[in-house]
Structure 1
Amino acid sequence: MPSSSISGLASGLNTAEIIDQLMQLERIPQVKLSGQKDRENAILTALRALNTDTTLLAGNAAKLAKAETWQTLQGTATGTGVTVDVAAGASASSFSFTVDRLAVSHQLGFTTPAALTDVVSQPQVTITGSDGVPHQIDAGSGSLEDLVAAINAATETTGVKATAVRVADGSYRLLAESTTTGAASAFTLTNGDGSDLLGGATVRAGTDAQISLGAGIVATSSTNTFTDLMPGVSVTLGATTTVGTSSAVSVARNSTSITASVSSLVDQLNALLTKIDTQTAAKTSTTSAGVLSGDSTARALRIQLLNTVFGDGTTSMAPLGIQTDRYGKLTFDAEKFKEAYAADPAGVAAKFTTGATPEANGWAARVESVAKAATDSYNGTITNAVTGHTSTVDRLTKSIEAWDTRLEMRRASLQRQYTALETALSNLQSQSSWLAGQIASLPTYS
Structure 2
Amino acid sequence: MASSASISGLGSGLDTASIIDQFMQLEAAPQTRLKSRQTSEKAVLTALQSLNTKLAALATRSGELSKVAAWNVVTATSSEAKVAVTATTSAGPGSFTVRVDQTAATHRLEHAAAVGMRVAGSVPTTVRLDRLDGTAPVDLATDGTLGGLVDAINSSANATGLRATAVKVGTDQYRLVVESAASGAAGDFTLTATDGSALLGGATVRAGRDAQITVGDTVVATSSSNTFADLVPGVTLTVAADTAAGTTAQVGLTRDAGAASTTLKGLVDAVNAAIADIDTATRSSASGTRGVLSGDGTILTVRDQLISSVFPGDGTSLASLGIQTDRYGKLVLDEAAFKTAYAADPGGVQTRLTAAGTGFVTKVKAAATAASDRLDGTLTAAVKGRNDSLSRLDDDISAWDLRLELRRATLTRQFTALETALNQMNSQSSWLAGQISSLPSSQG
TM bin (shorter chain): 0.7 to 0.9
Decide whether the 8 Å contact of 2:96 with 2:216 is kept in 1: no
Question: Structure 2: any 5+ residue segments left out of the alignment?
Answer: none
Deviation at 1:334, TM superposition (A): 1.3
Q: Paired residue for 1:302?
A: 303
Q: Please tell me whether residue 74 in structure 1 is matched to residue 79 in structure 2.
A: no
Partner SS for 2:253 = strand
Q: Does 1:28 align with 2:29?
A: yes
Aligned ranges for residues 139-218 of structure 1 at < 5 Å? Answer: 139-140=141-142, 142-153=144-155, 159-213=161-215, 215-218=217-220
The equivalent position to 1:393 in structure 2, one of 390, 394, 398, is: 390
CA contact (8 A) 2:120 2:145 kept: yes
**Offset at 1:265?**
1.9
Other structure's SS at 1:194 match: coil
SS of 1:235's equivalent?
Answer: strand
Residue 275 of structure 1: CA displacement? 1.9
What secondary structure, in the 3-state scheme, does the structure 1 residue paired with 2:228 have?
strand
- 1:237 corresponds, among 236, 239, 262, to 239
Quote the offset at 1:139 in angstroms: 4.8
Report the CA distance shift for 1:87/1:441 in structure 2 as closer, same or farther (over 3 A).
same
Deviation at 1:209, TM superposition (A): 2.5
Normalised by the length of structure 1, the TM-score is 0.82
Output the amino acid matched with 1:265.
L
1:77-88 alignment runs, 5 A limit: 77-88=78-89
Q: Distance in 1 between matches of 2:93 and 2:14?
A: 97
Counterpart in 2 of 1:263? 265
Q: Which deviations, in whole Å up to 9, do the C-alpha atoms of 1:198-247 show, x marking residues without a partner? A: 33332223233233445345443332223333333222111342334332
User: CA, structure 1 residues 7+344, in 2 after alignment: closer, same or farther (shift >3 Å)?
Assistant: same
Instruction: Report what 1:282 is aligned to.
Output: 284
Q: Give a deviation string over 1:333-366, Cα, whole Å, max 9, x none.
A: 212221222223233234444x6xxx44743333
Q: Would you say the 8 A contact 2:70–2:89 is kept in 1?
A: no
Sort the Cα spacing of 1:135 and 1:299 in 2 relative to 1 into closer, same or farther, 3 A: same
CA change 1:88–1:46 in 2 (3 A) is closer
Match of 2:328 in 1: 327
Is the 8 Å Cα contact of residues 42 and 291 (structure 1) preserved in structure 2?
Answer: yes
Check the 8 A contact 1:110/1:197 in 2, yes or no. yes
Moved more, 428-437 or 64-73: 428-437
How has the CA–CA distance of structure 1 residues 418 and 134 changed in structure 2, closer, same or farther, with 3 Å as cutoff? closer
Q: How many residues align?
A: 439
Three-state SS of the structure 2 residue aligned to 1:180 is coil
CA distance in 2, matches of 1:184, 1:387: 61
- Structure 1 residue 168: deviation in Å? 1.2
**Stretch of structure 1 that moved more, 148-157 or 367-376:** 148-157
Which ranges in structure 1 are unaligned for 5 or more consecutive residues? none
Note closer, same or farther for the CA distance 1:219–1:50 as it changes in structure 2 (3 Å cut): closer
Alpha-carbon distance in structure 2 between the residues aligned to 1:156 and 1:364: 54
* SS at 1:181 equivalent: coil
What letter matches 2:429 in structure 1?
S
Alignment partner, residue 42 of structure 1: 43
Amino acid at match of 1:85: T
TM alignment of 1:333-348, pairs within 5 A: 333-348=334-349
Aligned partners of 2:109 and 2:179 also within 8 Å:
yes
Partners of 2:8 and 2:15 within 8 A in 1: no
CA RMSD of aligned residues (A): 3.8
Query: Which residue identity lines up with residue 73 of structure 2 in the other structure?
Result: T
TM-score (norm 2): 0.82
CA offset at residue 84 of structure 1? 0.7
Assess, with a 3 A threshold, how the Cα gap between structure 1 residues 39 and 187 changes in structure 2: closer, same or farther: closer
